[in-house]
């Protein structure tokens, strides 16, 4: 995936995060790990690896926001996103 495509994906995931943040049923602390990264889609000066890590961290948070438990489809996706985020972080 090219960096511009990754930035577009990152932007789309942020839009989805904002949608979930507006819902009362979603715990906003789920997104704290993402916010702690300080990597925003508009930060084009950040490396591709940093954006990739942010996408996986945000994907994990979104999957957890949609899951009923760790064994649901979204829960399994969240677990995989967590593994991918850890791998991406090791490459930063």
Which CATH number characterizes residue 44's domain?
1.20.1270.110
Q: Number of structural domains, the chain?
A: 1
pLDDT score recorded for residue 10: 97
Say if CB 17 and CB 64 are below 8 A apart: no
| Confidence grade of residue 31 (pLDDT, cut at 50, 70, 90) | very high
pLDDT in tens, 37-71: 999 999 999 999 999 999 999 999 999 888 765 65
pLDDT in tens, 9-26: 999 999 999 998 888 888
Domain of residue 85 covers 3-90
């Amino acid at each position: 995936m090219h960096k511009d495509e990754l930035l577009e994906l990152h932007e789309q995931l942020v839009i989805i995060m904002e949608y979930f943040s507006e819902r009362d049923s979603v715990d906003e602390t789920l997104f704290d790990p993402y916010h702690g990264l300080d990597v925003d889609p508009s930060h084009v000066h950040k490396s591709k690896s940093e954006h990739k890590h942010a996408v996986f961290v945000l994907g994990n948070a979104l999957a957890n926001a949609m899951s009923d438990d760790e064994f649901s489809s979204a829960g399994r996706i969240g677990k995989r996103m967590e593994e991918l985020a850890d791998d991406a972080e090791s490459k930063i």
